[in-house]
């Protein structure tokens, strides 16, 4: 499924999500196979996000409140671009396959080719 608004493009292949030059707001939405995003802004309120990794980003900012992050591996977010990616997490839950759930309330900046693997998920 493909959605286009004002030159923005959001595509939903299978159970994942791809966005380019978009502003996306997701409320209580469950995405199983992650998000790949270029030059976009995402806002999450509630819901869950799985994948390996759940966030594959380039020139994108993420603002997540009460989002349940469920990576299949250890990495939660990867910046595959050359610019800085910003993650704003407000009481978001991190659930790994082998670790106890924990909460994140922080702002992270990932530089080019940097990934985020939270300590509790390693």
Residue 121 forms part of a structural domain: no
pTM attached to this predicted model: 0.86
Residue 101 forms part of a structural domain: yes
Q: What angle do CA 58, 82, 84 make, to 5 degrees?
A: 70
Q: In this model, does residue 30 exceed pLDDT 50?
A: yes
Share of the chain above pLDDT 90, in %: 76
The overall average pLDDT reported for the chain is 87
pLDDT of residue 10: 52
- Range 16-25, long-range pairs (CB < 8 A, 24+ positions): 16/51, 19/60
Q: pLDDT band at residue 4, thresholds of 50, 70 and 90?
A: very low
Tell me the average pLDDT across 99-117. 92
Q: In this model, does residue 15 exceed pLDDT 80?
A: no
Residue 25 forms part of a structural domain: yes
Q: Which domain holds residue 47?
A: 2-116
User: Which of 5-14, 23-32, 101-110 comes out lowest in average pLDDT?
Assistant: 5-14
Tell me the average pLDDT across 76-93. 95
Domain count, the chain: 1
Residue 46 forms part of a structural domain: yes
pLDDT of residue 7: 46
């Amino acid at each position: 499924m493909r959605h286009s608004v004002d030159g923005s493009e959001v595509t939903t292949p299978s159970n994942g999500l791809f966005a380019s030059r978009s502003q996306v707001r997701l409320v209580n939405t469950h995405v199983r196979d992650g998000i790949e995003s270029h030059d976009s802004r995402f806002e999450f309120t509630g819901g869950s996000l799985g994948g390996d990794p759940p966030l594959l980003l380039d020139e994108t900012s993420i603002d997540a409140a009460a989002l349940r992050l469920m990576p299949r591996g250890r990495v939660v977010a990867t910046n595959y671009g050359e610019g800085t990616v910003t993650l704003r997490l407000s009481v978001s839950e991190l659930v790994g396959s082998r670790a106890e759930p924990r909460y994140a309330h922080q702002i992270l900046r990932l530089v080019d080719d940097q990934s985020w693997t939270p300590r509790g998920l390693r």
